[in-house]
Amino acid sequence: MVKKSVMMKKNKSKINYPGWELKFFDRSKNFRQYQLELMKKYIKGNVAEVGPGNGMNLNSYLGLPLKINLYEPTPRLFKNLKKNFNSIKKILFYNKKFDG
């Protein structure tokens, strides 16, 4: 069997992620607690969270690291993060898109 290699052009169009499912995860206390229990032993020092959405995970681990870098590509969610967490000095915010 011969495999064909297909090259695809990168789609340069801007995709705006609506985050429709985040409200369901955010309301689920058991799910967020489960996530934290799996990760909290690794959350220390300088931490980066890519795609923090509305910051609900951030609320769970806020006291653990020394410095937090949040990379949120969606403009609406980035604005929400800044509004809700801008007063916390150990948090740096980045509105960045990552290309794979």
pLDDT in tens, the chain (100 residues): 444 333 334 444 555 666 777 777 667 668 778 888 888 899 999 999 999 988 988 888 999 999 999 999 999 999 999 999 999 999 999 997 766 5
Give the max Cα distance, the chain: 59
From residue 28, give the alpha-carbon distance in Å to each of 31, 34, 50, 60. 5, 10, 20, 13
- Give the CATH class of 42-100: alpha beta
Residues 88 and 39: their CA atoms lie apart, in Å, by 22
3-state SS assignment for residue 46: strand
pTM of the model: 0.66
